[in-house]
Amino acid sequence: MCIPERLFRHDRARIRARAGGQPRTEGDGMIVFIAALIGAAYGAFAARRKGGKGWDVAHYAAAYGIAFSLVGVLATIIITRTMV
């Protein structure tokens, strides 16, 4: 047995072991992306409502986008764990 074949078999076993034997689906990152977009839009709206200028809007949009994407990551983890 050559080394690359052994590594390939190890990768297959690792992929099978993740998520209860099912490989990762392609749409897992979509929740995080949509949550970040919603958070950025909400942050920009909140900054405009408070009378913020351009940098304030960008700062609020970035902060809310990061916060919402973290919530999206947690939601993805919970959804993935409960599906198995």
**For residue range 43-79, what is the model confidence (pLDDT) as tens digits?**
999 999 999 999 999 999 999 999 999 999 999 999 8
Specify if 42 maps to a domain. yes
pLDDT at 29: 78
> Total structural domains in the chain?
1
The single-letter code of the amino acid at 39 is G
The single-letter code of the amino acid at 26 is E
Share of the chain above pLDDT 70, in %: 67
Closest CA to 42 of 26, 57, 31: 57
Given pLDDT bands bounded at 50, 70 and 90, which one contains residue 17? low
Specify if 12 maps to a domain. no
| Structure token pair of residue 71 | 């919530």
What is the pTM for the complete model shown?
0.67
Q: In whole angstroms, what is the distance from residue 69 CA to residue 48 CA?
A: 21
Specify if 11 maps to a domain. no
The range of the structural domain enclosing residue 39 comes to 23-83
